[in-house]
Amino acid sequence: MNAEVPERVQGIYQEVLRRNPGEGEFHQAVREVLESLAVVLDRHSEFSEMKTVERICEPERQIIFRVPWMDDRGEVQINRGFRVEFNSALGPYKGGLRFHPSVNLGIVKFLGFEQIFKNALTGMPIGGGKGGSDFDPKGRSDAEVMRFCQSFMTELYRHLGEYTDVPAGDIGVGAREIGYLFGQYKRITNRYESGVLTGKGLGWGGALVRTEATGYGAAFFAEAMMKVRGESFDGRRVVVSGSGNVAVYGIEKVHQLGGTVVACSDSSGYVVDEKGIDLDVLKQVKEVERGRIADYADRVASAQFVDGGSVWDVPCEVAIPSATQNELDGDAAAVLARNGCRYVVEGANMPATPSAVKVFRESGVAFAPGKAANAGGVATSALEMQQNASRDRWTFEHSEARLAEIMRDIHARCHETAEEYGSPGDLVLGANVAGFLQVAEAVHAHGLI
């Protein structure tokens, strides 16, 4: 038995542990949601009778496959591919593909599970799924990445479709990979089915603002959190972890909103630049040259590179963890709180460990979970699908305005739900309950399937 899991949902949690051994990240994600749901089950006996929570914790379909390919030296390589089609109550499965050596079934399931509630919060008609591979694109040539993507799609294509399952990018999967995946899908199916993947290139079905959406969205969400407290980004010191897609565009929007990002990182270490991160240099290093964060410090006189170490040691008022899961633990959270951090907004999926979230709660740091704060990416993916379906193309300004509106709505929904369920200010509970209710009502309406 687990003392902190409420009695009401203890049985469900024990069954998830028994059924999914060794999947630590998945257990963590389920537990965090279950901890919020006891209050919902007290009010809705129909969800207990129909085992709605239990059904949502079980993926509708899990696909695991071999991905053989040949590297540039002519050596055969074998990776493993995954797609977890978690829940289609609200629409076709939707969620990214992650290419990273750490990818395993438990990680894909945690991401897919989170995605169900995140997608519900956007208010768009999309279900939840996630996929990926333990393939590491780092250090691979374009030709190797292309051969891998073609082999990956040669199996996955049979499970996809604009009304069935629509993947996008995630860690290690950007515009280049989406291009190769789309090309192979088109070749095999003989269909130019634009809505089967999102994050496409702008010249062939992609949508403006999709690249920027997750980072911009997290900044808009943070702005909404500050607004209810009568505050703003103006003049605030901000630290962002990572220097990938979410981090770069999070930094861009924070700067536009008046904050200053003084540090960011990658898996080798972090840079501190008291003048504020120079985005042109960061984009050149990371997006063009695919280099390391140390290269930034080599080019910018006001910056220092710290090899290894924790970016959370850098004092700030706002922290936006945007690298990967469990990158911010209880000790780092205590350092942030001690240094005067007042807001933590998850740009990544589940970057804060449960003990970090506990520290934030106890020290009065306002905390936004990723399933709410980083939903801007998937929301804009749904807008891309909408534009594909209507053969339309929106302007940058219109798309960004829609994104800002969606993020403000998500914040308002989480904020109001937290109040309604007796935990004002608790955006974790607000996001879990609001997302769950929307999915659960649809699951319930569809009967026992």
Which amino acids are annotated catalytic? 130
CB of 190 to ligand NAP, least distance (A): 29
CB of 13 to ligand NAP, least distance (A): 24
Nearer Cβ to ligand NAP, position 169 or 369? 169
Which residues ranging from 266 to 325 are in contact with ligand NAP (CB under 6 A)? 266-268, 322-324
By CB under 6 A, is residue 346 in contact with ligand NAP? Answer: no
Which residues ranging from 203 to 232 are in contact with ligand NAP (CB under 6 A)? 214
Q: Which stretch binds ligand NAP (CB under 6 A): 5-13, 180-188, 240-248, 255-263?
A: 240-248
Contact pick of 128, 129, 169, 430 for ligand NAP (by CB under 6 A): 169
Q: Tell me which residue of 22, 111, 95, 21 sits closest to 351, measured CA to CA.
A: 111
Contact pick of 151, 245, 387, 438 for ligand NAP (by CB under 6 A): 245
By CB under 6 A, is residue 119 in contact with ligand NAP? Answer: no
**Residue number, nearest CB to ligand NAP:** 244
CB of 367 to ligand NAP, least distance (A): 16
Which residues ranging from 170 to 189 are in contact with ligand NAP (CB under 6 A)? 170-172
Size of the site for ligand NAP (CB under 6 A): 24
CB of 375 to ligand NAP, least distance (A): 8
CB of 35 to ligand NAP, least distance (A): 21
By CB under 6 A, is residue 246 in contact with ligand NAP? Answer: yes
Judged by the rule CB under 6 A, the positions of this chain that interact with ligand NAP are 169-172, 214, 242-247, 265-268, 322-324, 327, 347-349, 374, 377
